[in-house]
Amino acid sequence: MLNLALPPQLANVVTRLPAAPPSLAFSAVANRLLWPALKTLDWQALAGRRYAIRVKDLGLNLRFTVTQSGFAADSGAPDLTISATARDFLLLLARREDPDTLFFSRRLVSEGDTELGLTVKNLLDALDPDTVLRQLPAPLARAAQRWMAA
């Protein structure tokens, strides 16, 4: 079993941060690491929609939109909010768990526009993990690969 829980002191600090800097940081990191792979997908129908990712155990609320040029922090009311723990988000990211499975067992909560959620899920599912790994800096790609195979 992986232990991804943050030390409580750190979680406390993260919880107290206002929403904007984490959202900015998230967009910057996502643009650098993920966008090169994600930009190959067809975002047309999804451009301009607002998303929120709530990492429950860290008290993080990441709000952003996706434009033709990548992620951008956004503070408007989200069309779609996805909530889960950090560990479950990582399991999803590594394709080790299926979102429906987490949803049925109430570990993943999706609120807002259901069709938007489904479209995003299907879009990401269709993305070849190798495409993402190839675009990552080598040490990170190796770590991710180990984690996906574990």
* DSSP character string of 16-63: HS-SHHHHHHHHHHHHHHTHHHHTTS--GGGTT-EEEEEEGGGTEEEE
Q: Is 129 in the site for other proteins (CB under 8 A)?
A: yes
Minimum CB–partner distance for residue 139 and other proteins (Å): 25
Alpha-carbon distances of 71 from 41, 50, 56, 86, 89, rounded to whole Å: 14, 10, 21, 20, 18
**Listed ranges 1-9, 21-29, 31-39, 120-128: which one lies at the site for other proteins (CB under 8 A):** 120-128
Give the residue, chosen from 121, 135, 141, 147, that forms a contact with other proteins under the rule CB under 8 A.
Answer: 121
Q: Is 16 in the site for other proteins (CB under 8 A)?
A: no
Q: Is 99 in the site for other proteins (CB under 8 A)?
A: yes
**Listed ranges 6-14, 29-37, 64-72, 106-114: which one lies at the site for other proteins (CB under 8 A):** 106-114
Say how many CA atoms lie within 13 Å of 143 toward its Cβ: 6
Minimum CB–partner distance for residue 24 and other proteins (Å): 27
Q: What are 137-140's contacts with CB under 8 Å, separation 24+?
A: 137/33, 140/33
Minimum CB–partner distance for residue 134 and other proteins (Å): 15
Site residues, other proteins (CB under 8 A)? 45, 95-101, 103-106, 109-111, 114-115, 117-123, 125-129
